[in-house]
Every structure is written in C-alpha cells, then in structure tokens.
Structure 1
Amino acid sequence: MAKILIIGAGAREHILAKTFLKSPQVDQVFVAPGNEGMIEERIKIVPINIDDLKGMVDFAKKGNIDLTFVGSEEPLVLGIVDEFKKAGLKILGPNKTAAQLEGSKSFAKSILKEAKVPTAAFSVVRSLSEARRVLVKHDFPVVFKLDGLAAGKGVSIISSCQQAEDYIVNLYKNNPNTKLLIEEFMQGPEFSLFSLVGKNNTVVHTPIAQDHKRRFDGDKGRNTGGMGAYSPVAQISSAILEKVIKSIVEPVLKVMQDKGNPFTGVLYTGLMLTKSGPKVVEFNVRFGDPEAQVILPQLKGDFYQMIIDLIDGRKPLIEWQKKEIYLAVVIAAPGYPDNVEKGFPTPLLDDLPSDLQIDYAAVKKNGHNLISSGGRVATIVDHAKKVQLAQKDVYSYLDRSNLQLAYRHDIANQLAKFERDNQ
C-alpha cells in the first residue's frame, strides 16, 4: 500500500489528500505543513516549512514515501522537483526552470511569444522612468502585474493616469529594482484549464473551471487568492475548449520541449474569451485554489494510478463526470485580504448537512473546535444537476450559520444566468 506526501497547507492540499485516499492503493497521506483541520484517520500533518526542501527530501526518504505531489507554487519555483529527482524520489511537477512559467510572468510571456499564442499586448519595465514612457502610449484601463510570485494577488487593474502614477511612484520608491509588466486590458469571461502532463508528452485535461478573484460581490474590491469557483463551465463550448488545447496548450508544451526543458506536472492555463477568441491571462504550474476543490471531486477513477501512469509515460484511462455542477464558496476572515484577524469559530464537518463538504485552509484546533488562523479559512463545496440548486444548498447553510467569517454571495451567478437563459 502506498504512502503519499502532499506539500502545502491549504484547502487545495486537503482535497488532494482526500482524492488520493479514494484510491484502493493508498494507505496513508502526509501533508507538510498542512493544517489542523486536515487531521483524520489516514491524513497526518508534518511540521516542515514549505520552503524547507531538504527537510521534505529527508522526510520522504525516511518515511518511505512512494509519491510526492506538490500543491503550492513556492516549493516548485524553488526547485523541489529537481531535489527529489536527485534523491531518486518519485514526484510529479515541473523542474525549477519550467516552474518559471509561474515564477516569472516575463518568462511566461516570452514562451507565449515564441509559441505564437494569443495573449494581451505587454511591456516589461524596470524603473519609474521606463514605466512612465510606456504608460504614455497606453489607453486606460491597463493591467499591472508584478513579475514574481504574489499568491494570486499581484495583479492590479489601473483605471486612470493618476492611479497609474501613484502606483508606480510607490512601487519604485519601496522596491527600486522591481520588474513590472504593463498589459493591455482584455475583456470577456475568464476560465481555467488544468493539464496534467507526464513523461513522453502524456497529457490529461481536466474539466474547465471559473474562479472568482475579487473580494466582494459583483467582482468589486481587491484581488484575492480566490473567493469561490465552479466547474464545469457550460458557457464555454467544446469547440472553444478544443481550440484552447490545440492552439494554446500544445504549442506551449512543444516550445518547452524544443528548448530542452519539457514541462511535466500541472499546467494551469488561465484564459479569457475575448471578442477575437481565447487569450492567455496567465500560467500557473500547480492546481488552483479553489478550483481544485471543484475539479478533483469530478474524477471517476484512481487519482494515484493516474499520476503514476503520467510519471511513467503511460496514457491514463480516466473519466470525468458530466452530469453535475460543482460549486465552491470560500469563507474568509472579515478583513481579508487587507487586515486579517484570527480566532473566529469555523464550521466543523459534523455541523454541515450531509450533501456539503468542507476543505480546510487556515484553521487551528481549539479544544474540540476549530478557529480561523489566517485569511482564507475553508471552502464549502456542493454539487447538483443545476448550479442554482447547489447555490441554494451552500448559501442557505452559510446564511443560517451566523458565521463571523465572510464570503461572497454571488459565486457562479454567471452560470445560473446561462442556465436560466437556456432552459
């Protein structure tokens, strides 16, 4: 029986652990560093810092771990896959160079350009004077993106010349050497495709998902790590999806291969369906959170076997459900993402109706209860034949719970409208 190590601490890692445990081949899952909401009979948390690559390698060796799966981006960008492979340990993910698809937005743009893949027009600047020269040529709004990792919060939509000036003056005053991308503003619905890529160019594409990044209802407020998601996305046709795979994902994988640096692992392609067709917004090199919470439960089959097949270069035989919509609503600290207070009571699995699931993120034990310990606290998940039914289940529970925690009330409203319009 297999032992699995998952690296990360949030709700994404919780659903990964639960998905691996559905496999009859898996006996035990360890999550490092994990959180105290994950602890159950066959899930154990391991107190190793997420950037402690040596500690992770040592634990995997001593614990006879059969497979390691990396949930969060930081260890991938630091090169954890390279370290595990040097130690002869089984792991699926991109090496340090390939992880720059997420670790450096300018690197990702260079790959897109080489692959002739549609994306927003952009400039890369490294100083206040350079930023000002570029902005003179732009209409507003524009999009600012910090080049490195930013936990899903490094993107700002700038609506005026004055707002742009304030932003860049503050940025270069505090961070003189920052690399900033200035992009044209694109319009259209966003959606995400996750492609699990193995040896010999074996690929499994998941159902697509739509994430809700803005903090408040109506897509208002600051960008966050994600306030909710749903999948599949019925508004995106199978023809559009096929176009994305053929004209975006496959060319990018080919360029990476041609450059002698083939991508393996989870390629998250963030997309926007513009009037001129789908364009790339960003790449990540791991599952999204909360998208993982609505995608992984749709797998009909053995997740562990699928990952092993990909590592070994075999095409996995898997299937995804097609009859229901999965909906996830994130519950967060009231001041998130700006002022995060801690210590709020958090729902327990036993408190939930049987049709709802909870994946924990920033929680700690407090006797028999759980309290919040960070920004995004947990994700509540439901599934139903119509998204309106799933919304009713999740929101009626949350609204009657009198939580001190915060959540958006409009997750998947676009899909609900699409369902009503196409009845």
Structure 2
Amino acid sequence: MNVLVIGGGGREHALVKALSRSEHTEQIHAVPGNSSMEKYAAVHSDINDSDIERIVALAIKENITWTVIGPEAPLTAGLADALEAADIKVFGPRKLEAQLESSKAFAKNIMIKYGIPTAEYQAFTNLIDATEYIKQQGAPIVIKKDGLAAGKGVAVAMTETEALDALKEMFVEGENKPVVIEEFLEGEEFSLMVLVNGDYILPFDIVAQDHKRAYDSDTGPNTGGMGAYAPVRHIGEDVIDEAINNIVKPTAEAMVKEGLDYFGVMYLGAIITKEGVKTIEFNARFGDPEAQILLELLESDFIDVLEAVKNQEPYELKFSRDSMLGVILASQGYPKTYEKGASVIIPERLEDEIFNSGLKHIEDERYETTGGRVMLVTGRGSTLEEAKKTAYKNTEQIKFNNEALFYRNDIGERGV
C-alpha cells in the first residue's frame, strides 16, 4: 500500500522510517518532508503541511491508503476531517477532538468535569484579573497560553516577578485567547503514548522521559524538548498502570461521553506527585523527541498496529529490550530568536543515528540549519549508560561553529 506522512521534522522522519520497515508499505510520500526523508520517501517540499486542498488532491492522485499526521497544526486546521471525507484512512484526530491539545481550557474542563487528576487552575481573558490571581496565589506557579505553541507556550515561574513577566508576554494585544494559570506540581515527569480509537486504548509498553528546559540541570526557558530516553526503568509498572487507569482510560471514555470520536495518539505528559500521578498536559500527536526514540525501539509492524487500532482489535505491541537516548542540537537563542543558515557537517556514518528537525542538505556531508531545534542525535545500547555514552560520542563528531548550536550535557541523568 501507499502511505503519506504529514510533517517535516524529526518526529515525521521517525514515522517515515517506521513505515519503511513495514512489509505492507510500497511507496511512502512525505509533505513537506525534509532532505533526510528522501532515502525512504517521495518528498513533496512544495506543499505546506496545512494546505488541506493540495494534500487531499495528492492523496487521491497517489492512491494513498493511510495518512499519518505528525504535527499539531494540520490536526487543528482540520486535515483529518478532509481526508476522512475523501475516504482515506487517516491516523490523527479530527479538528474537534484535537482540541484536547489545541485548547488548554477545553482539556482542563474535560479533566475537571470527569474527575481526572490534574493541577488546579483558573482561565483568564484579561491581564488585570490574571495579575490579581497570581498575586493572591504566589509562586511557584505555571502559566500556559491557550492554543498551539509547539511546547513552548508554558512558563514555570519560580518567583512572582517571573510569573507577571510571563503573563504580559502571553496576553498579546488583539488576541482573545484565554491564559490558563495552574498550581505548580512537584515531582518526576514522564511521557506516555497511547493509541486511541473511541474508548479503545493501546498504550505503549514503555514510557519515555523528555527534558523540557533549555539548559543543564533543568534551568532556562521551556522548549519543545531538548532530549529524551526510553525505557524509564526506575518508573515502575504500577505507576504506568495508575496513569492508564486513572487518566488515559477515563479521558478516552470522557471524550466519548462528550459525543467526540478520538482516533490517533493521545500523548500524556504526566507527573508523579505525593498525591499520585497527575496530568500536566495532553497532546493529540506523538511527542517530539520522544517519538524518535520510541518508534526506533518499536519492533511491531507499524501498519499492522494502525490497522489493529482502526478495527479496535486486541494487539500486543513489541519493543526492543535495548535502551535508547537522544540529544537535541538547537540553534543558539532557541526557544526565542535564533538565526538560520549555520553550516553543519554530519559524517556519513552517523546518517542513521540522526533525526532531522531543522536541517537542509547542501552537498555531501554539509547541511544548513533551518529551524530552532536542528537534529536529534541518538545512541543505542543494552543499558541506558551505554546508550548515553554512544549518543554523546556521536554528538561530538558533528562539526559546527561553537556559537551556532547548543545542547544539554545531562540527558538521561535521572535514569542512569
């Protein structure tokens, strides 16, 4: 069968690789894709990933059986709805269901209504009331902008001054989007990917741990993710079961009760608190960079997995027993202002160890940066320590101007 992947980052690079390993795949297409995907797929860089009309036309022309949507923006734009209407199987929730990610207020309302463990919160539509609330609550406190922000529209403010500064940034003049202010939850975070179809759920057997802050020791601003590893062996099955039974399953059932029909990935960002596992956030797609790690460890045929979820059939996911760790190289200045066009040399032998998030191939081993997060450099081994050592050894072999890129040196430290 012919398949189509929507998106052009590292997560989509991983999806294309996973689909290329399926015995059912004949031809893969990627929109807009990136230069690293050309090894596996026909890349349509002239089509934007939110250009619904052209994507549907391409899917019909190329006789696409399955479309897998990677990023959140096309989901929110209603791409899944349009593909479904054209009789093309699509893995990714429709616009209504994608509100679980696209509207923090929507997600919070669902959780509060159905008693799903999460932080206490208030939503505000004006700066004066929000400012007063923060002064009443004090710090630490969490401020989230409603809507899509690629993992960066969150401020974890440790002081009242930081909170008020973040608030001013998030209340943009002319916008009418709520800002959600949450209590600060303390504990260890983890990411759980669950494949959902209505009230049917198929959780990944292993969890990953992302590193959101820009700099070592979890300092600096929140980002889309600076690295990840899996499995997280020090988080036990009892914790994962609690997350599934108390959060994921009730959320899937709540969506059904609300008259919604969720089909796709339900990404749970969770935290282990003294009161038990609580929800930090839901995303309506695979996490990035967690997807790159988890999909590489997945040994099941990805098309078989999609068909099982589509048909709500029992299915046992199979993962490698290896550990895997990835380090994000990012443009200096990310997650705020950064420059593009920096030269990067990647040795050919590392091609299969790297997931392209923001790189353009120029010639031979030379690339140029095109985004904030540039690439995920991975390492694999029988232990996490071995995987970490390999990932950082690989990272050191990539050549670039020292001022152009940066990365964290402590990815996976908790697990080791």
Q: If the TM-score is normalised by the length of the shorter chain, which range does it land in?
A: over 0.9
Separation in 2, partners of 1:408, 1:271: 22
Map of 2:387 onto structure 1: 390
- CA–CA distance in structure 1, aligned partners of residues 196 and 172 of structure 2: 41
- 1:379 matched to 2:376? The reply is yes
- Matched residue of 2:415: which SS? helix
Is the Cα contact below 8 Å between 2:355 and 2:376 reproduced in 1? yes
**For residue 216 of structure 1, what is the aligned residue in structure 2?**
215
Give 1:408's aligned residue: 408
Q: Is the 8 A contact 1:37 1:370 kept in 2?
A: no
**Using the alignment, how far apart are the partners of 1:198 and 1:169 within structure 2?**
39
Rate the CA distance shift 1:234–1:175 in 2: closer, same or farther, 3 A.
Answer: farther
Secondary structure of the residue that 2:176 maps to in structure 1?
coil
Rounded to whole Å, the distance in 1 between the matches of 2:170 and 2:19 is: 42
In 2, Cα distance between the equivalents of 1:217 and 1:169?
Answer: 27
Give the 5 Å matches for 1:344-355.
Answer: 344-348=342-346, 350-352=348-350
**Does the 8 A contact of 2:198 with 2:256 survive in 1?**
no
Describe the shift of the 1:397–1:172 C-alpha distance in structure 2 as closer, same or farther (beyond 3 A). closer
Structure 2 counterpart of 1:149, one-letter code: L
TM-score, normalised with respect to structure 1:
0.93
Q: CA deviation at 1:87?
A: 1.1
User: Is 1:229 paired with 2:225?
Assistant: no
In 2 relative to 1, CA 296–172 (structure 1 residues): closer, same or farther, beyond 3 Å?
closer
Q: 2:174 and 2:184 mapped to 1: Cα distance? A: 24
CA contact (8 A) 1:17 1:43 kept: no
**Structure 1 ranges of 4+ moved more than 4 A:** none
Alignment of 1:92-131 (within 5 A): 92-131=91-130
**Whole-Å Cα distance in 2 between the matches of residues 281 and 45 of structure 1?**
35
Question: 1: CA distance between counterparts of 2:28 and 2:274?
Answer: 45
Letter in 2 for 1:112: M
2:359 equivalent to 1:363: yes
Contact 1:333 1:340 in 2 (8 A): yes
Matching of residue 324 in structure 1 with residue 326 in structure 2: no
Superposed, 1:241-280 pairs within 5 Å as 241-280=240-279
SS at match of 1:77: helix
Q: What RMSD in Å do the two structures reach over aligned CA positions?
A: 1.8
Q: Secondary structure at the match of 1:135?
A: helix
- After superposing the two structures, state which structure 1 stretch, 297-306 or 361-370, moved more: 361-370
Alpha-carbon separation, structure 2, partners of 1:246 and 1:256: 15
- After TM superposition, the structure 1 = structure 2 runs for residues 159-178 of structure 1, keeping only pairs within 5 Å, are 159-172=158-171, 174-175=173-174, 177-178=176-177
Q: Letter of the aligned partner of 1:332 in structure 2?
A: A
- State the 1:53 CA deviation: 1.0
| Residues 56-111 of structure 1 deviation map (CA, whole Å, 9 limit, x = unaligned) | 11110111111100000011111111111111111122111110000000000011
Cα 1:202/1:247, change in 2 over 3 Å: closer
SS of the residue corresponding to residue 316 of structure 1 reads coil
Q: Deviations over 1:159-212 (max 9, x none)?
A: 333333333345446355331011111111110100011366252434211101
Q: For structure 1, which segment, 187-196 or 378-387, has the greater mean C-alpha deviation from structure 2 after superposition?
A: 378-387
Residue identity in the other structure for 2:409: H
Report the CA distance shift for 1:86/1:138 in structure 2 as closer, same or farther (over 3 A).
Answer: same
Which ranges in structure 1 are unaligned for 5 or more consecutive residues? 417-423
| SS class of match (2:408) | coil
Name 1:419's counterpart in structure 2.
Answer: none
The CA distance in 2 between the partners of 1:80 and 1:9, in whole Å, is: 16
Aligned to 1:307: 306
CA pair 288-173 structure 1, distance change in 2 beyond 3 A: closer
Correspondences of 1:66-77 after superposition (within 5 Å): 66-77=65-76
Distance 2:337 2:268 in 1: 30
**Distance across 2 between alignment mates of 1:200 and 1:269:** 16
Equivalent position amino acid for 2:236 in 1: S
Classify the secondary structure of the residue corresponding to 1:38.
helix
Q: 1:257 to 1:343 in 2, by over 3 A?
A: same
Deviation at residue 362 of structure 1 after TM alignment: 1.1
Q: Which amino acid aligns with 2:382?
A: K
C-alpha distance in structure 2 between counterparts of 1:57 and 1:8, whole Å: 14
Q: Hey, what does 1:335 align to over in structure 2?
A: 333
2:143 is matched with 144
Q: Which moved more, 1:300-309 or 1:15-24?
A: 300-309
TM-score (norm 2): 0.94
Distance change >3 Å, CA 46–CA 170, structure 1 → 2: closer
When residues 179 and 60 of structure 1 are mapped into structure 2, their CA distance, relative to the original with a 3 A threshold, is same
CA displacement, residues 291-318 of structure 1 (integer Å, 9 cap, x when unaligned): 0011011212211111022112322343
5+ residue gaps, structure 2, are none
Distance change in 2, residues 1:84/1:259 (3 Å) = same
Identity over the aligned pairs, expressed in percent?
36
Aligned-partner Cα distance in 2 for 1:202–1:167: 36
Match of 1:284 in 2: 283
